[in-house]
């Protein structure tokens, strides 16, 4: 899915889930502004986990559920929710940032022929 379309869907999901979260942040490919997005990633600190999960069930089909992550298959894209605490919230976002650094290092070590220096 293209970035702009994914951002619109992510905005709607955040709006729907916000009442049940202390914090909610869009992460992953959208946060890194990748042109193509395979999943909407959210890092949340739940305020009301029961109603949060009820709202998630209304959005699609559960593909994976656990204490730390839930994956929902929506009509057009997967939704990955990473559950955090105040202590782990920043760590999860740093891991997301670290993923971006690894992608950039891979690009530097395996440049596309379109971007080779002349």
d(CA 59, CA 117): 46
Q: Residues of the chain with pLDDT > 70: what percent?
A: 80
pLDDT tens, 88-100? 888 887 766 445 4
- For domain 3-115, give the fold: Beta Polymerase; domain 2 (3.30.460)
Model pTM? 0.78
CB-side exposure of 24: number of CA atoms within 13 Å? 22
Confidence of residue 78 (pLDDT cuts 50, 70, 90): very high
**Nearest CA-CA partner of 27 in 9, 44, 4:** 44
């Amino acid at each position: 899915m293209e970035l702009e379309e994914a951002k619109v869907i992510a905005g709607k999901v955040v709006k729907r889930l916000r009442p049940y979260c202390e914090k909610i942040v869009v992460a992953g490919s959208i946060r890194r502004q990748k042109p193509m997005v395979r999943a909407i990633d959210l890092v949340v600190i739940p305020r009301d986990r029961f109603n949060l999960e009820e709202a998630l069930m209304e959005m699609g089909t559960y593909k994976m559920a656990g204490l730390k992550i839930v994956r929902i298959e929506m009509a057009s894209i997967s939704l990955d929710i990473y559950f955090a605490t105040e202590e782990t919230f920043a760590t999860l976002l740093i891991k997301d940032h670290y993923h971006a650094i690894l992608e950039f290092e891979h690009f530097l070590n395996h440049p596309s022929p379109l971007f080779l220096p002349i």
